[in-house]
Structure 1
Amino acid sequence: MNAFNQHSDQVFRARELHELLDMPTDEASVNVTRSRLGRLTRQGFLTQPGRGRYQKRT
């Protein structure tokens, strides 16, 4: 959520978040992040303006 708070107007893909945060970009790690982003979207913290894209809810 820190990345979304710092860049509240930016739309991210899961892999872009990994690169921004210097996290591993292997497929398994990115899939875990996708799952977490989906959960945050369902909880109302994020929106999904396009397939595979996530943005902080304003």
Structure 2
Amino acid sequence: MNVIELLADLQAQHRETAARAGEPRDQIQHLTGQEFRARELHELLGMPTDEASVNITRSRLGRLTRQGFLTQPGRGRYQKGT
């Protein structure tokens, strides 16, 4: 594999990852007013529910909470921000 093919492959992987990262955010848009847990979000989206995958989502939800897109009405629960 030459450098150009490697860069093209990395770009394709980046686009795919960016698209998948938007899925939880899009799904959260539909959860207005509802509280949810990270594991419930995984189940709803058909994503893996193993502990490592859910922990990554928890981290991302925490970042969205700090940015003001979500609120955290209780421990481990998230809700779309107002």
TM-score range, shorter chain: over 0.9
Return the structure number with greater helix share.
2
Compare relative contact order (CA 8 Å, sep 6+) and give the higher one, 1 or 2: 1
Q: Which residue of 1 aligns with 2:42?
A: 18
Counterparts of 1:1-58 in structure 2 under 5 Å?
1-58=25-82
Unaligned runs of 5+ in 1: none
Deviation, 1:8, is 0.7
Return the structure number with greater strand share.
1
Contact 1:14–1:34 under 8 Å retained in 2: yes
Taking every aligned residue pair, what percent have the same amino acid on both sides? 78
Deviation, 1:3, is 1.4
Equivalences, count: 58
- Give the TM-score taking structure 1 as reference length: 0.95
CA distance in 1, matches of 2:35, 2:26: 14
Unaligned runs of 5+ in 2: 1-24
RMSD over equivalenced CA pairs, Å: 0.6
Task: Please list every run of at least 4 consecutive aligned residues from structure 1 whose deviation after the TM superposition is greater than 6 angstroms.
Answer: none
